[in-house]
Copies of this chain bind each other. A is one copy, B any other.
């Protein structure tokens, strides 16, 4: 097994440390020293590898997105029907790895920061677009396009809203109940459309 390069290793460690720091501090207002300390390196090294705080944050957001993306692709691959695709997307967003306090806090923090940072905003746009199109790929076979669009928007809003609530009330809602809530919304709407 080839040993991964030291640089790759350090970059990953720094990104993980960033997520951890944000998760614990519950805000992007973390210091480079804190992050570097968690990664077991000097803050100078963090600058050496990433250039600056902004770049490190961007890389972290990118990593978060990549994780979500990977999980989503895997989940969709296992979905055999349009209906299953919808559930897959929902499930991924509330999966254990995505719905961890730490991750949820990081997402929200990035949501806010994106309002000021163009690069972050761009990244979140990508995320929004993917979520939307993944949902649409499951919805359009089941209902008229207009209806599907509205529903995709509703589902997305619900997911985001549940993230907020998750962040605010420590521990609640559980991944399970969150999933159930969104699934119920989907189910009701589908039955209505079918009826």
* A residues neighboring B (CB under 8 Å): 25-27, 29, 105, 108-109, 111-116, 121, 124, 128, 150, 153-154, 156-165, 167-169, 173, 180-181, 184-185, 188-189, 191-192, 195
Contacts and interface: CB of A to CB of B under 8 A. Distances in A.
A128 B167 CA distance: 13
Copies held by the complex: 4
B168 A181 contact: no
Contact of A184 (B113, B154, B191): B154
Contact of A165 (B105, B112, B160, B173): B160
B161 A173 contact: no
A162 B161 contact: yes
30 contacts: A26-B115, A26-B116, A27-B112, A27-B115, A108-B112, A109-B112, A111-B167, A111-B168, A112-B167, A115-B167, A150-B180, A150-B184, A154-B158, A154-B181, A154-B184, A156-B161, A157-B162, A157-B164, A157-B181, A158-B161, A160-B161, A160-B164, A161-B161, A161-B162, A161-B163, A161-B164, A164-B164, A188-B188, A188-B189, A191-B192
